[in-house]
């Protein structure tokens, strides 16, 4: 019985670590530009005009890092990166 409990605990631990590794995998969803400011919750934006919205193309419904290029209200170009569900999710939930 001791061996069964040890085997079960090991299997559950491995499953948990695999889930964490998938949750924190950022290798496929990284921003393509290095000068984009990452968005954080509560950040005030001074957007005058949005120039472009881009995101990596994927067939999977998952969280990706998208970029927004905009011109702020004082006329300076800015770039912002943010996390969102990929466009592929529109096919799953609509």
pTM, entire model = 0.58
- pLDDT (tens digit per residue) in 68-78: 999 999 999 99
Tell me the domain boundaries of the chain.
28-93
* CATH of segment(s) 28-93: 2.30.140.50
3-state DSSP of the chain: CHHHHHHHHHHHHHHHHHHHHHHCCCCCCCCCCCCCEECCCCCCCCEEEEEEEECCCCCCCCEEEEEEEEEECCCCEEEEEEEEECCCHHHHHC
Q: Report, as ranges of residue numbers, the positions in the chain whose pLDDT lies below 70.
A: 1, 6-34, 92-94
- pLDDT (tens digit per residue) in 6-19: 666 666 665 655 55
């Amino acid at each position: 019985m001791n061996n069964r409990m040890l085997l079960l605990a090991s299997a559950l631990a491995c499953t948990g670590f695999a889930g964490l590794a998938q949750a924190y995998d950022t290798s496929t969803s990284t921003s393509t530009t290095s000068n984009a400011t990452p968005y954080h919750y509560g950040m005030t934006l001074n957007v005058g005009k949005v120039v472009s919205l881009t995101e990596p193309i994927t067939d999977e419904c998952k969280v990706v890092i998208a970029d927004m290029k905009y011109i702020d209200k004082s006329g300076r170009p800015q770039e912002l990166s943010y996390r969102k569900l990929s466009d592929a999710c529109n096919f799953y939930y609509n």
